[in-house]
Amino acid sequence: MGRKSSLGKTPIGKASIGSLIAVSAAALLGACSSSAQTSVISVSASFYPIAEIVRTVGGNEIDVQDLTPIGHDAHDTELTAKQLQRLEKSSIIFYFGDDFQPGSQKAIESQSSQKIVDLFEPSTVNGKELVVPRISIDSTCQGCESGKELDPHVWLNPSHMITLTQIVQERLSQLAPQKRDFFVSRATTYMNQLSELGELIDSSFQRCESTILATEHNSFGYFTSRAKLSPLPLAGYSPDQSVSGKELTSLTALLKKSNVSTVFDEPSLASDLVKQVANSIGAQVDSLNAVESITDEQLSAGESYISIMKDNIQKMKKALRCS
């Protein structure tokens, strides 16, 4: 319950809130004459950043369930019976395929293909094919045949969030064409905020003493690519990939040589690896949030993808000694 009500806090400006209230009032008035005008679209989103996009674009015209539990790492979610029930009833389901969340992906892909949208796949918006560009990362996973994987953490570059917002807006508008103007207006406000966030990343790391970002797992590749920083992940692209003793020794040597003064962990991952590595090189530990989920406290405090990303930027600037 807490999640549903908290998700109402979305990063929309005051003007939009005003128009939202106007729309809500109109919807209430309309309820007397036509029940169709108040029908709410039931949507499922596989994890928080997608749920935020859907909630922000759809406002009170949609009801979204986030399939990743509050405060939980996104990679290893399993759906409950209640979530499965809700999934069945959803008019549309947005998710990332490619085994990013294998537990929920299987359940999602057993639904009608008409109502599932894999946001890693190309989508047509206004006659144009949109797709989020994926990058390869060196994977440290044992037994990976190619040694290369496509990084799933696309949302950490706000440009990709803009593309995802366009796709979500289009699909919601196809479901409820009479609400298209409402969805487009809200999507535009959100995309402007995402665009400003991207510009903040571009300007924040131009004068730094170090450009090497040491993180717990390899989730920040899209961010470092945008910010022109060099990622140095302690584990592979997925948090359950461990590092061998030999790898740890060479990693520690590399961090020392690179003059890394802060190693970042992630609050949703329960790992001692960062502490262990930081202690061995006399570095500090700080936390970055890869926005794979959000806590009740953060939602209650009005936090969002954008505010969490701004917090990440400030911490990185401090760690890399940027002016």
Determine if 215 is a binding residue for Zn ion (CB under 5 A): no
Determine if 139 is a binding residue for Zn ion (CB under 5 A): no
Point out which span in 10-18, 48-56, 110-118, 215-223 binds Zn ion (CB under 5 A). Answer: 215-223
Q: How many residues lie near Zn ion (CB under 5 A)?
A: 1
The pairing of beta strand 136-138 with beta strand 148-150: antiparallel
Determine if 101 is a binding residue for Zn ion (CB under 5 A): no
Point out which span in 26-34, 56-64, 172-180, 219-227 binds Zn ion (CB under 5 A). Answer: 219-227
Joined tokens for residue 244: 């061998």
Determine if 104 is a binding residue for Zn ion (CB under 5 A): no
Among residues 12 and 45, whose Cβ is nearest to Zn ion? Answer: 45
The pattern of x and - marking residues 10 through 49 that bind Zn ion according to CB under 5 A reads ----------------------------------------
Residue whose C-beta lies closest to Zn ion: 219
Q: Which of 219, 224, 289, 304 binds Zn ion (CB under 5 A)?
A: 219
Among residues 99 and 202, whose Cβ is nearest to Zn ion? Answer: 99
Joined tokens for residue 305: 């993808």
DSSP secondary structure of 40-85 = PEEEEESSHHHHHHHHHHHGGGEEEEESSPTT--STT----HHHHH
Among residues 45 and 172, whose Cβ is nearest to Zn ion? Answer: 45
Q: Which residues of 95-116 are buried (b: 16+ CB within 10 A; e: fewer)?
A: bbbeebbeebbebbeebeeebb
* HEC assignment per residue over 227-280: HCCEEEECCCCCCCCCCCHHHHHHHHHHHHHCCCCEEEECCCCCCCHHHHHHHH
Binding site for Zn ion (CB under 5 A): 219
